Amino acid sequence: SAVISQKPSRDICQRGTSLTIQCQVDSQVTMMFWYRQQPGQSLTLIATANQGSEATYESGFVIDKFPISRPNLTFSTLTVSNMSPEDSSIYLCSAAGGGGGEQFFGPGTRLTVL
């Protein structure tokens, strides 16, 4: 398994600003993912962070709004750009590398946009 940390753990931001969330894994992993979750609800995949190339976005999510970086096999960032109150959510990163499709999750970043 992998141990994943995220920074910040929570933040309160003003609309129109941007926030960058960092995700650090304690070992090299093949895949990293970014999810969004409303409290008590399931996870929605935003994108797959690809090392050395552009992220792969799911339907409804675009690079201009959620730019993602992955400079190496242990680190990724997600930026939430030009925020609105609708972006208030929990943002989670995960990592996978085993053949069983298992993913291991960070503790999440709780974002509130005023």
Complex with other proteins: residue 29 or 113, whichever CB lies closer = 29
Question: Where do contacts with other proteins occur on this chain (CB under 8 A)?
Answer: 1, 4, 30-31, 33, 39-43, 45, 48, 92, 94, 96, 99-108, 110
Nearest approach, Cβ of 15 to other proteins (angstroms)? 24
Nearest approach, Cβ of 77 to other proteins (angstroms)? 17
Nearest approach, Cβ of 108 to other proteins (angstroms)? 5
Nearest residue to 93 via CA among 19, 14, 12, 3: 3
Q: Using CA atoms, how far apart are residues 76 and 32, in angstroms rounded to an integer?
A: 8
